[in-house]
Structure 1
Amino acid sequence: MTVIVAKWTIDEYHRMIDAGILRSRQVELLQGEIVEMSPEGEPHAYCSHEAAEYLTDLLGQRATIRQAKPITLPNNSEPEPDIAIVQRLGREYRQHHPYPENIFWVVEYANTSLEKDLETKSKIYSQAGILEYWVVNLKKLHLVIFRDILDGEYATKLTLTIGTIQPLAFPDISVVVERIINN
């Protein structure tokens, strides 16, 4: 027996949200599939919040730091990354979530969702043209940085536990890895 999965467009997904169908569910749209999001445990909530505060202070008025808010991607995906560093477009975001061209980079914190974040989401973000993607592995307390899109996938993958990293969008800024991991 062949299983056929129903795929949803972003417009259909938004209509379900507007109709209240998904009100009691923590979900995101990934490549046309509505996927349950893992509950956020204390380390996840603490680390992502502290990192967002740090990035807000570090970047100042150069970017907006959005926490657990949707971004709209062309591959029928509307994930809700833990942190999205986006252009400061102000009220324009009343009309739409950030598109790939508005996104400097995204950060996901992963404990139970590690495989989804490292595999599925890295492909979704790279295919959408997001130039940089960070995953914090909360089990091992390290930062995985994906960069350099080649043929729709990230060609470079760095794993750091200490030191500093310069985001591609802001090469003059040094981000302290320990402040992102919050170990």
Structure 2
Amino acid sequence: MLLGSGTIADYLRQVLVGKAWIREAHPIILSNSEPEPDIAIVKLPRSKYFQNHPTPQDIFWLIEIADTTLAYDLSKKKEIYALENIQEYWVLNIKKQELTVFTQPENGTYHVQLKLSAGIVKPIAFQDLEISVAKLFEK
């Protein structure tokens, strides 16, 4: 069974209960496009998105689950999200079981890149939370 966004999203829902809404494969509104990230962690209340998709100001961070899309997720999508000032962007490399975290967007690039294959990650928006890298890759 290939790891899907559902397993990851379910884990994030447990960790972020009452703090954020987890959206799977739904559009977000950017200045020139409406991409559908695999997972978007957005501000509450959930009802805010019944009529409109989230904009960059609503987004805590975005996650792409990369199998066949790794090159695109690490290049074009990263650039698009950085240009829109998305503060944090994660790419889960399924084949290598590696999480890449991008932060500090400026002028179409992220200035900080962190690669993890174990341990914990603390999202910028929720420094009090610890997300297990291993659990992100559980099947």
TM bucket (normalised to shorter chain) is: over 0.9
- Structure showing greater radius of gyration is 1
Write the letter of the residue equivalent to 1:98: P
Secondary structure, in 3 states, of the residue corresponding to 2:126? coil
After the TM superposition, which segments of 4 or more aligned residues of structure 1 sit over 2 Å from their partners? 89-92
Structure 2: gaps (5+ residues):
none
Where do 1:29-178 residues align within 5 Å? 42-45=1-4, 48-74=5-31, 76-178=32-134
CA contact under 8 A between 1:143 and 1:181: conserved in structure 2? no
Q: Deviations over 1:5-58 (max 9, x none)?
A: xxxxxxxxxxxxxxxxxxxxxxxxxxxxxxxxxxxxx5142xx21111111010
Higher RCO structure, 1 or 2 (CA under 8 Å, sep 6+): 2
Partner Cα separation in structure 2 for residue 71 and residue 181 of structure 1: 24
Out of 146-155 and 98-107, give the one that drifted further: 146-155
Contact 2:3-2:94 at 8 Å conserved across structures: yes
Alpha-carbon distance, 1:182 to partner: 2.3
Q: Distance in 1 between matches of 2:130 and 2:97?
A: 19
Q: What is the rounded CA distance, in whole Å, between the counterparts of 2:106 and 2:82 in structure 1?
A: 9
CA RMSD in angstroms comes to 1.2
Which amino acid is 1:55 matched to? L
Kindly state the Cα deviation for residue 176 of structure 1 after the two structures are TM-superposed: 0.5
What percent of counterpart residues are identical?
43
Distance 1:72 1:128 in 2: 10
* Amino acid corresponding to residue 25 of structure 2 in structure 1: A
Q: Residues of 2 paired with 1:90 and 1:54: CA distance? A: 18
Aligned-partner Cα distance in 2 for 1:112–1:156: 24
Unaligned runs of 5+ in 1: 1-41
Distance in 2 (alpha carbons) for counterparts of 1:150 and 1:127: 7
2:10 alignment partner AA? E
Alignment TM-score, normalising by the size of structure 2: 0.95
Using the alignment, how far apart are the partners of 2:47 and 2:21 within structure 1? 12
